[in-house]
Amino acid sequence: MDNEVSFSRMYSMKYKIVIFVCILCRFLFMEAALYASEPVSNPTNLIFANVKSYRLTIAFAAPNPLPDGGYLVIRKTGLAINDVPTDGKMYTIGDSVGICKVVYSGFATSAAINNIIASTRYYFAIFSYNGAGQLTDYKQLNPLKGNIISSASMQGANEYNGVSAVNASFVQDVHNKINPHISIPYNSYDETNIALFSSRDTTAGQKVITCAYSGEQFVYTAPFQWGTYSREHTYCHSWMPTNPANNPELSEYNDQYHLFTTNQIKANQPRSNFPLGIVVNPSYTYLGCKFGTDALGNLVFEPRNQQKGDAARALFYMAVCYNGIAGNNWSFPIVQDQEVLKQWHWQDPPDGWEIARNDFLDSLQGNRNPFVDSVNWVCYIDFSTMTKVNNPQPCFDYVSIKDEKQSYPETTVYPNPTNGSFKLNVFSSYAQQCHIEVMDVCGKKIIDKQFILNYGSNVIEVNIAVSKGIYLLKIIKEEQLEIKKISVK
C-alpha cells in the first residue's frame, strides 16, 4: 500500500514537472516570437566628415551579415551615451531614447546631421536592428560609438584683412566687406533658414521652431506654413530709408541676418515698429517678451534675454551693411537708443547658436555679421550718425560682463588689474577643450590658445607682453562663452 502511494505521488510530481516544462517552453516560444531575431553585430568604423559649426555628416561600415531593418543613430550633447533603444519600439527622428535624441533611422550607412551649434561636443551611438514596428529587435550590446566637437567660428583667416578700428575709414571698410552679397528671396526663408538651420526635430515626426522674441516653442508638421508665425524684420521695414523695399524686393528686405521667426499675433504685432528697450512699466507680456514704457516714458518693446544681444547685433549689421547705398543714411531712428543695444550686446554675447547661424548665413549670402565676429567693433561706431568714434571709452564698461545664459560657476581672473601675467581659475563640469583669446580694443588678437580642462577647477597661467590699457578676454568652452575685461597696469 505504501508503495502504491509512493508511486502515485512520484507519478503526480513527474506529471507536474512535464506540465511546467511545456508551459515554460510555450512562454519562451511566445516571447521569442514577439520580436524579430536580434542582429548579429553593430556597424563599425564611425567617420565624421564635413564638420561645420551648424552641420556635420556621419558615415560607418555596415556589419556582416547586414541587418534586415537598418540602423538607429542617437545623439547626446556633452556626455557619453549609456542609453539603449527598447525592443519592440520603432523610433523616428526626434524621438527620445532615454535622454538621447534619435537623429537617424534607416538603412543608409551615412547621414547628414543638422541642429548643430558651434564648438560643442556631440556623442553618438549606432545600433543595428532587425524587423519593424512591434517586431523591431535592436543589437543593444556594444553599439558603435564616437564623439566629435563641431567647428568653432568658420570665419576665414583673411576675412577682415584691411579693416582696422584705428582707420578713419573704418565704418566704410566694414560696409565694403559685407555688401554687396547674395540676395535670398524673402519667400525662400522657410526653405533655407527654417528647413536647414533653425528648425529642430521633435517626436512623432514633427519639427519645432522658437519664437525669437518670446521663447515660445512652435511644433508643426513639415512643410512649414506661414500664418501663426512670421518673419520679423528686426530692423523695422518702416525705418528703412528705402521703404517700401518689398516691391520690387530689395536685399535689405530679405536679408536673413535681421529676419527671425516670431509668433505673429503674440510677439510680432506687439513689437510693431516700436524701438527695442527696457520696459519698466509693462502693459503687455507674453512669456519672455514685453511691451510698455521705459524709464523715460517712451513706448518700447523688450525681447527675452536670450535674444537681446542677437537683436542688437542684427541692428548694428543692417545699419552698416546698407548705409550709403544710393546716398541713403541708415542711422538708427531717433527713438532707438543705441546705448541700450550696446549694453545688451555685452550682456548677451554671441553664443554657439549665433556663431553657427553666422556661419550658416555666410554659406547662403556670402557675407558675415562683423559684430558677431569682432564684438568690440561696436565701440567705434556711433549708430545715430553712422560715423566713427575716435578713442572710445571701452563700451564693455557698460556692464559687469556676464552671459545671462550661464548657470555654471564663473571663471575667476587674478590678479586683475595685472602687469601682464595673470591666472585663470576655470571650472568645468566634465573633461573638455577650452579656447582662450585675448584681444585689444581694436580687435587685434594678442593670444589664441587651446587648453584641455579636467573636471573641477583648472588653473591656467597667461602672460601677455602689451602696453597698459583695457583688453578683452574670451573663454570659449564646448557649450559656453565667457567674456571678461582685463586691465593691464
Q: What is the pTM of this model?
A: 0.79
Phi-psi region of 447 (alpha: psi -120 to 50; beta: other; left: phi over 0): beta
The helix (H) or strand (E) run that includes residue 422 is strand 421-428
Same domain assignment for residues 383 and 450: no
Per-residue pLDDT of 44-80, as tens digits, reads 999 999 999 999 999 999 999 999 999 999 999 888 9
CB 388 within 8 A of CB 170: yes
The angle formed by the CA atoms of residues 302, 214 and 278, to the nearest 5 degrees, is 10
Same domain assignment for residues 455 and 489: yes
**Rg (Cα) of the chain, in Å, rounded?**
29
- C-alpha to C-alpha distance for 198 and 229, rounded to whole angstroms: 13
The answer, yes or no, to whether residue 155 has pLDDT greater than 80, is: yes
Identify the three-state secondary structure at position 371.
Answer: helix
Same domain assignment for residues 232 and 353: yes
Q: Is residue 159 part of a domain?
A: no
Q: What percent of the chain has pLDDT over 90?
A: 68
The answer, yes or no, to whether residue 13 has pLDDT greater than 60, is: no
Per-residue pLDDT, 326: 96
User: Please, how many CA atoms are within 13 Å of residue 276, restricted to the half-sphere of its CB?
Assistant: 31
The answer, yes or no, to whether residue 480 has pLDDT greater than 70, is: no
The answer, yes or no, to whether residue 277 has pLDDT greater than 80, is: yes
Closest CA to 408 of 430, 435, 423: 430
Cβ burial 257-293 (10 Å sphere, 16+ → b, else e): bbbbbbbbebbbebbeebbbbebeeeeeebebbbbbe
Residue 81's domain spans which residues? 44-149
Q: Is residue 157 part of a domain?
A: no
Same domain assignment for residues 385 and 436: no
Same domain assignment for residues 437 and 331: no
**Cell of residue 479, nine digits:** 557649450
Q: Is residue 155 part of a domain?
A: no
Same domain assignment for residues 420 and 358: no
Same domain assignment for residues 378 and 456: no
Residue-level length of the chain: 489
Q: Is residue 268 part of a domain?
A: yes
Q: Is residue 12 part of a domain?
A: yes
Selected residue with higher pLDDT from 207 and 454:
207
Answer with the one of 120, 149, 178 that is the final residue of a domain: 149
How does residue 411 score in pLDDT terms, banded at 50, 70 and 90? confident
CB 457 within 8 A of CB 381: no
Per-residue pLDDT, 15: 52
18-27, 28-37, 200-209, 409-418: which has the highest mean pLDDT? Answer: 200-209
Same domain assignment for residues 252 and 335: yes
CB 285 within 8 A of CB 303: no
Q: Is residue 156 part of a domain?
A: no
Per-residue pLDDT, 88: 95
CB atoms within 10 A of CB 226: 13
How does residue 5 score in pLDDT terms, banded at 50, 70 and 90? very low
Per-residue pLDDT, 439: 83
Per-residue pLDDT, 455: 66
Same domain assignment for residues 191 and 267: yes
How does residue 409 score in pLDDT terms, banded at 50, 70 and 90? very low
User: Please, how many CA atoms are within 13 Å of residue 26, restricted to the half-sphere of its CB?
Assistant: 6
Same domain assignment for residues 230 and 254: yes
Average pLDDT over residues 137-149: 97
Same domain assignment for residues 66 and 179: no
Beta strands in 38-109 (DSSP E): 44-49, 56-61, 70-77, 96-97, 100-106
CB 253 within 8 A of CB 243: no
DSSP state of 418: B
Same domain assignment for residues 395 and 417: no
Per-residue pLDDT, 428: 73
CB 350 within 8 A of CB 481: yes
Answer with the one of 365, 400, 435 that is the final residue of a domain: 400
* Beta-bridge partner residues of 81: none
> How many folded domains does the chain comprise?
4
